[in-house]
Amino acid sequence: MEVVIDTLNASSGAALRALPVTSGAVLNAAAQAEVRRCVLLTIVNAGECAMGYYQAQAARARSYEKSKLTTTVVAATQFHNLVAGIFAGGAKIGVIPAFMGVSVQPISTADVAAVLVAEALRGGRESEYVLAGGPAVHSMQELALMWKQATGSKALISPMPLPGSFGAFLRAGKNLIPDHAVGEESFEAWLAKRP
């Protein structure tokens, strides 16, 4: 086996707590199989957010960065489908949440996959840390309007606060990397392709 691309994920509970250990097991198995490069997908600035999910992602990235294997950590911004899922979830009760003071730089999973594959095929023995951001930064209000227009939803776009450490993380723009906009497919273009 030449490469491993680790995109393992878990959202809560025991699976989330086990995620960093699981990534360590992936690295151990890769070492035994003499894999040339291990590539990990994680989240931009995950270590700067106190939320458990982000902390688990940060722990995974640290294990890759400390590994004796040749690794690449790809830190991406939020996916288009995550943003759309937030709006769709709220629309079920008639409200499209537009978190105040929050901007997002969404990226398509296809664009992230292209970065992961490029890193897997990278030559050399140097470990890398790669940032992968969507093509543009938009406020949640702008994205909510795009989503509403594309879906024809009758739900009301509602500005609302996002409290807690995660809200503070997003309001500080720590989820944004405008200087690393590698994604090509905009949120609007991605929405236009949805059924």
pLDDT score, position 195? 77
Residue 172 in tokens: 């500080």
pLDDT number for residue 194: 85
Residue-level pLDDT at 123: 86
72 pLDDT above the threshold of 90: yes
Using one digit for the tens of pLDDT, what is the confidence trace for 91-137? 999 999 999 999 999 999 999 999 999 999 988 889 999 999 999 99
Whether the per-residue pLDDT at 1 is higher than 80: the answer is no
- Contact by Cβ (8 Å): 78, 104: yes
How many angstroms separate the CA atoms of 53 and 43, rounded? 10
Average pLDDT, the chain: 95
pLDDT at site 174: 98
**42 falls in which pLDDT band (50, 70, 90)?**
very high
Helix or strand holding residue 66 (H, E): helix 52-66
pLDDT at 102: 98
> If you search the block for the tokens 């086996």, which residue do you land on?
1
How many other CB atoms are found less than 10 A from the CB of residue 27? Answer: 23
Average pLDDT over residues 52-79: 96
> Could you give the CA distance from residue 159 to residue 113 in angstroms, rounded to a whole number?
32
For residues 179-191, give the mean pLDDT: 97
pLDDT of residue 175: 98
Is the pLDDT reported for residue 43 higher than 90? Answer: yes
pLDDT over 70, % of the chain: 99
pTM score over 0.85: yes
Would the pLDDT of 154 be above 80?
A: yes
Residue 63 has pLDDT above 80, yes or no: yes
